[in-house]
Structure 1
Amino acid sequence: MTLLHYRPLFDVDAELRTIQGEVNRIFGVVNPLNQSDFVPLAELVEMKDSFLLRLELPGVTKTDLNIEVTPDSVHISGQRQASTETAEILNERSEFRYGSFERVVGLPKEVKHNETKANYENGILTLTLPKRLSEENTVHKVTFEQI
């Protein structure tokens, strides 16, 4: 009888990708499922007056991006196109992922979504999201009307 250890944090998808990668390496086959949709990696940094949201999007052009910002989230979608070289290809092996992508990043505090600034350079999309001033932190003096 084989004894299996209980691993509650076991990532089945990662293990399956590893096994599929080894099978592809051994047999020299690229699984077409590996070239399906992908999710870009993100980094969210909180500054004093704003948030910086960076996404890795190599090979994606500005025209293929759609960015929508609400006070509490950022929705980024787009598509990475495969190269359309027409030279005769004898053999191709690619681990790149092509296709459409979509990423929604929730923000820990509300932002002034209409003042968002975007910069796209060297495959990195950087969004600067100014924080909304919290009503809790402002003081409003209340006076009695004289009778």
Structure 2
Amino acid sequence: MFDPSRDQARQFFVASWAKHKNREVLTQLEIIAADLVAHHPEYQPLLEDPDAVYKDFSPEDGQVNPFLHLSLHLAIEEQLSINQPPGIREAFEQCQARHGDRHAALHDVLECLGETIWQAQRDKAPLDARAYVDAVRKRAGL
């Protein structure tokens, strides 16, 4: 099972972006990661900083953790590719139809996933996959 440390996960995004910019050969996962970074130009300068993997991002200071954001995007791409949890792909497609924009729909799903993870952590309970998919459906206006 793939279980990287925080720094390893962050380094993956930094390295994927560097390989993309240098026109090096990327793995399929690195292609997805680089594409995610390309859709977030606000994160690109950070990912070009060799010390970025060691930075802290505090929500109390109003900071968004770009590595968390990109990691959630990556998780969603994997979920969509295998339709897991069941129904996530259809719910996403409905969100996408509502927005007319794939990336905006992904951000809807990301909000739902983040909330579902937060609730599971708060309640010290397993992630509620049904509630997650239902939240995405709700965002789609269903």
* TM class, shorter-length: under 0.3
Question: Per residue, is there more strand in 1 or in 2?
Answer: 1
TM-score (norm 1): 0.24
Q: Larger relative contact order (C-alpha < 8 A, sep ≥ 6)?
A: 1
Structure richer in helix, relative to its length: 2
TM-score (norm 2): 0.24
Q: Greater Rg, structure 1 or structure 2?
A: 1
